[in-house]
Amino acid sequence: MFLFTARFSLTASETETFSDGLSVERKRVKPILMASNSDMGSADFESLSSTSDVELLKRAWRNEKAAPEILPYEGDLVERAKGQIELVEGNIEDYVENGMDPLVVSLYQMDLDRTQFLLRSYLRVRLLKIEKFMFHTLKSEEAESRLSEQEKVFATKCVADLAKHFEESVLIKLRESYRSVLKQSLISEEDDMVPEPHLDTFVVSRSNSHVTLNLYEEGESHQIVEMYRGDVYFIRYKVAKGAIESGKVDLI
């Protein structure tokens, strides 16, 4: 259904494909899950969809999937998405009872399915990251501050369960000076057995606005890169980290 393909068109139909094959089509129809301001009027489709919760959720999901470490929790967004999903579920039930054309109902259903998937995957990806780096997450203030309250509870329990498991399977069988979960031995000066996320991983990032990034650490050779809006770069996560948090750069 390609009607016009102007840049800021109201009628373009674009398909985005994510790295795991999910294809999402921006349809010409009204977005099912609306923006926070519900009066649509003759608002520009582009600007509306760029602030709609679905778009925000998509962005949060994409970033979370691509980033090697856990990102700040988007609590408000999650709550709003939950509410809207419930609302649409109810609507669909009504449509079916009122005998709406099954094809149209299935379109609404598909839209709902996709949004539900996004929300579930977002939360799941975060939990998996917590699981993967559980000891680190609770040790690092920065990481811990990014968790929701429930995630903190989850992380704490994970750590307790795994530590217990280690103790009972391995550590109890070793000599006392080697019984630490986090340290190789009493001699270790710091916790040297805690896996940490690799912040040097390369990621693909796209800039939303003009931003300047330092390619190297402070004090090292001062080389910068300037990213303009829409530019796509393949750089180390560490470099883009700050910009991602401030929303200036997205991961894809």
Positions touching other proteins (CB under 8 A) are 18, 20-23, 82, 99, 102-103, 106, 109-110, 113-114, 116-117, 119-121, 123-124, 127-128, 131, 150-151, 153-154, 157-158, 161-162, 164-166, 168-170, 173-175, 178, 184-185, 187, 193
Cα separation of 202 and 251, whole Å? 11
**What phi and psi, each to the nearest 5 degrees, are found at residue 115?**
-65, -40
Query: What torsion, rounded to 10 degrees, do the Cα atoms 47, 53, 58, 62 define?
Result: 100
Q: Which is nearer to other proteins, 153 or 232 (CB)?
A: 153
**What phi and psi, each to the nearest 5 degrees, are found at residue 205?**
-130, 150
Q: Supply the Cα-derived Rg of the chain in whole angstroms.
A: 23
**Least CB distance from residue 54 to other proteins, whole Å?**
14
Q: Which is nearer to other proteins, 184 or 209 (CB)?
A: 184
**Least CB distance from residue 110 to other proteins, whole Å?**
5
Q: Which is nearer to other proteins, 13 or 121 (CB)?
A: 121
Q: Which is nearer to other proteins, 28 or 164 (CB)?
A: 164
Cα separation of 51 and 117, whole Å? 19
**Least CB distance from residue 207 to other proteins, whole Å?**
26
**Least CB distance from residue 102 to other proteins, whole Å?**
6
Q: Which is nearer to other proteins, 43 or 174 (CB)?
A: 174
**Least CB distance from residue 98 to other proteins, whole Å?**
11
| CB-based contact 71:237 (threshold 8 Å) | no
Burial of 76 (0-12, 13-18, 19+ CB in 10 A): exposed
Tokens encoding 84: 């809207």
